[in-house]
A = this chain, B = another copy of it.
Amino acid sequence: MKSFEPYYVAIFTSKRTGEDEEGYGLMDEKMFGLVEDQAGFMGAESFSNSEGKNVTIVKFRTKEEMIDWRNNPAHREAQTKGREIWYEFYNVKICHVEREYEFIK
């Protein structure tokens, strides 16, 4: 049995303003491309719901590598534009994954 190595997730919940959707789409694509080259990146998945909220769950090996991604200059620029234009609100939870289990039929 593979032993479990704890890691980190950022849970990014957001609601968009609906402004400049094209610019948002381009930025979103660029960020998903960039984060894949970030040291410690382990994967990301996005979801949405009927209230117009979105959640992206981003996995990193360590908290330090997650902070490096937060401080990436292109990501910083996207964060600033996000507050100015794209997001009505967002919430970020920095989480230590202590345990994980899975069922596959």
User: A interface vs B, CB < 8 Å?
Assistant: 9, 11, 13, 17, 45-49, 53-55, 57, 63, 83, 87-105
Q: How far is the CB of A31 from chain B (nearest CB, A)?
A: 17
Nearest B residue to A11, CB-CB: B57
User: In whole angstroms, how far apart are the Cα atoms of A93 and B99 in the complex?
Assistant: 6
User: In whole angstroms, how far apart are the Cα atoms of A17 and B105 in the complex?
Assistant: 9
Copies in the complex: 2
Interface of A is mostly: strand
Within 8 Å by CB of A11, from B11, B53, B63, lies B11
Known: A11-B11, A55-B55, A105-B17. A95 touches B92 (CB 8 A): no
User: In whole angstroms, how far apart are the Cα atoms of A105 and B83 in the complex?
Assistant: 7
